[in-house]
Structure 1
């Protein structure tokens, strides 16, 4: 595929555009990576927008916060949800569960309870 005259022309024009924009792009890249005497990137523009904090300081604070909370790395989950049926205290399924999954679980629950589950097929 991609052998039509139109696609060949478009490829040719994109290549010419890349040639034309290459010097500007290179200048912009050099400006973005403008290194000062220390070898670190100039953060003057970034500092106007956001607060710049050294990486080692961030790592120390993250470790300190985890120790203070006593967090085991577990997520905060809704503890009022039944693990077997996945129903919460109001009888609602989780938001991520599809209608089909909820219906299937309800059928299993009804069959286990002893009530009539919904039968598949034609009833003669």
Structure 2
């Protein structure tokens, strides 16, 4: 798709904008990655742009979070009081992910089983 005159013009203008902004962007990148004589980035310059956190601190926090998760036996908080066949919970509610059409369809099946006869399908009766 995307072959209309408008989209071609927009692509052309975006390319022009990229050409125009490329030198500024390159200069900004060089400034952000301003390397010292040691080959390491200057932390004072980097702190103005982004928050700098030492790697060992992140690893320690990750280990603490994993230990907390292991304490919960790694089980998900599942809705255990849900009928697997009808997908209804103890309050008669369908799951949040189920759409209205699917819920209506399941309800129709359930009512048909209850009453013994289902709704007649539309169509030619021969």
| 1:67-123: CA deviation from partner (whole Å, max 9, x where unpaired) | 664344442222222222111111011121111111222233334445433655578
Superposition deviation, residue 30 in structure 1: 1.3
Partner SS, residue 72 of structure 2: coil
Closer/same/farther in 2, CA of residues 50 and 88 from structure 1, 3 Å limit: farther
Unaligned runs of 5+ in 2: none
Q: TM-score, normalised by structure 2?
A: 0.58
Q: How many residues align?
A: 123
Counterparts of 2:101 and 2:113 in 1: how far apart (Å)?
19
Q: Which one is further off, 101-110 or 33-42?
A: 33-42
Kindly tell me: are residues 105 and 43 of structure 1, through their superposed partners in 2, closer, same or farther at Cα, counting changes over 3 Å?
farther
Q: Contact between 2:82 and 2:89, CA under 8 Å: does it hold in 1?
A: yes
Q: 1:88 to 1:16 in 2, by over 3 A?
A: closer
For residues 37-66 of structure 1, give each alpha carbon's deviation from its aligned partner in whole angstroms, at most 9, with x where no partner exists.
564545557757986544444344x46644
Q: Distance in 2 between matches of 1:65 and 1:5?
A: 54
| Distance in 2 between residues matched to 1:73 and 1:45, nearest whole Å | 42
Q: How far does residue 28 in structure 1 lie from its aligned partner after superposition?
A: 0.8
* Alignment match, 1:6: 6
Change (3 A) 1:7 1:38: same
Q: What TM-score comes out, normalization by structure 1 length?
A: 0.59
